[in-house]
Homo-oligomer: A and B are copies of this chain.
Amino acid sequence: MNDDRPPGRSPRAKTGGAGRVRDPEQTRERILDAARDEFSAKGLSGARVNTIAERAGVNKQLIYYYFDDKERLYGAVLERAYRDIRKQENALDLDALSPEDALRRFIHFNFDYTVKNRYFVALLNDENLHKARHAKVNDRIPALQSTMKRTLARVIRRGLEDGSFRREADPVELYISIASLCYFFLSNRHTLSVIFNVDLLESDRIEARRDHVTEMVLSYLRSVPAAPPGQHKT
């Protein structure tokens, strides 16, 4: 705070008859919604606090009141995004399905989630531009994730046991590949559209892509490896 500023503010005109609305919970959520839209459209550096306030329909000072500054607002948006996807992932209940159906369920979830929540893709891209410095100071994010890694490891093991899978995939590598296949076509849809002169989000195309991704992952797990995974060349 600038403590040495002399008082100098002129008293402002009184408002008209309309009273103010007071609902701090809703105000906070509206700011987060507006911020999510603005940050995903323009990135942290390109987003404008004024625009966020306008989109939220609130006074700009409220953003500083609830979130301290732009960066912390961004961090709050990111955390809420992670919490949402993990909540939905944890609800998948993959252990109740056969290994192959579990994998299908997992892939379809990730694929459909990115298609429905494009903002998430844009936020992650931007967070990587900033070297994940907001995610790094958030304790809740890694904890949310490790359950999914273990779940995936169990699915792989169950598939090896019942013979539907024939290769012992590394769960981290597999997770990254599934995320890659589900994510990249959306994150890079604009440059890919320029290159291939197609609309990647046309609905038939999306469905074909989901099938393609599923086939690619399952055929990898079903096939006998040519060499042990993770073998090191020395």
Copies of the protein in its oligomer = 2
One of B180, B191, B229 near A124 (C-beta < 8 A): B191
Could you say which residues of chain B place their CB within 8 Å of the CB of A149? 196
One of B128, B195, B212, B229 near A125 (C-beta < 8 A): B128
In the bound complex, CA of A136 to CA of B190 (Å): 9
A215 vs chain B, min Cβ distance (A): 7
* A225 contacts B by Cβ under 8 Å: yes
When the two chains form their complex, are residues A192 and B219 in contact, meaning their CB atoms are under 8 A apart? no
User: Taking CB as reference atom, which chain B residue is nearest A219?
Assistant: B223
* A179 contacts B by Cβ under 8 Å: yes
**Per-position binary interface string of chain A over residues 15-28, scored 1 when its CB falls under 8 Å from any chain B CB and 0 otherwise:** 00000000000000
When the two chains form their complex, are residues A194 and B141 in contact, meaning their CB atoms are under 8 A apart? yes
User: Taking CB as reference atom, which chain B residue is nearest A186?
Assistant: B128
Size category of the A interface is 35 or more
A14 vs chain B, min Cβ distance (A): 39
In the bound complex, CA of A142 to CA of B195 (Å): 5
In the bound complex, CA of A195 to CA of B143 (Å): 8
One of B129, B183, B212 near A173 (C-beta < 8 A): B212
When the two chains form their complex, are residues B223 and A207 in contact, meaning their CB atoms are under 8 A apart? no
When the two chains form their complex, are residues B216 and A220 in contact, meaning their CB atoms are under 8 A apart? yes
A-B residue pairs, 6 tightest by C-beta: A45-B46, A132-B190, A180-B184, A45-B45, A219-B223, A145-B195
Give A residues with C-beta under 8 Å from B.
42-46, 122, 124-132, 135-136, 141-142, 145, 149, 170, 172-173, 175-177, 179-181, 183-185, 187-198, 200, 204, 207-209, 211-213, 215-217, 219-220, 222-223, 225-227, 229-233
